[in-house]
Amino acid sequence: MAKYAVYSKWYWKNGVPEVGFVQDWLRKRRSEMIAEDTILFQVDDHHHCSLTIYANEADFKKERPSVLAERKRNHEEGAQIIEENVGPYLGQMSTV
């Protein structure tokens, strides 16, 4: 089975959180996640993007309910998802 990727773009009403906050959040979530990895990057003062990698589509579907619940909490904290794309890997230059 092919790896599966999820790309999303977010808007933060009060600005993208500090790096320390984001790192702590990722560390906390890591033990709860099925995903192999998540990379977040800041686009500007109010937007960030993420790329989450799953071993396969079945893992993506299994984790989806908890991701949607987390998004609801994020929305309550002032973050809003504005774009999402999902699909199987076509290729990867290297391992990150």
Express as a percent the part of the chain with pLDDT over 70. 99
**Residue 42 host element (H or E):** strand 37-44
How far is CA 23 from its chain centroid?
13
HEC string of 39-67 equals EEEEEECCEEEEEEEECCHHHHHHHHHHH
Measured CA to CA, the distance from residue 78 to residue 66 in angstroms comes to: 19
Q: How confident is the prediction for the chain on average, in pLDDT?
A: 91
pTM above 0.85, yes or no: yes
Judged by average pLDDT, the poorest of 12-16, 17-21, 40-44, 74-78 is 74-78
Q: Has residue 95 been placed in a domain?
A: no
Q: How many domains does the chain have?
A: 1
Q: Has residue 94 been placed in a domain?
A: no
Could you list the residue range(s) of the whole structural domain that residue 40 is in? 4-87
pLDDT, tens digit, 9 for 90 and up, residues 27-44? 888 888 999 999 999 999
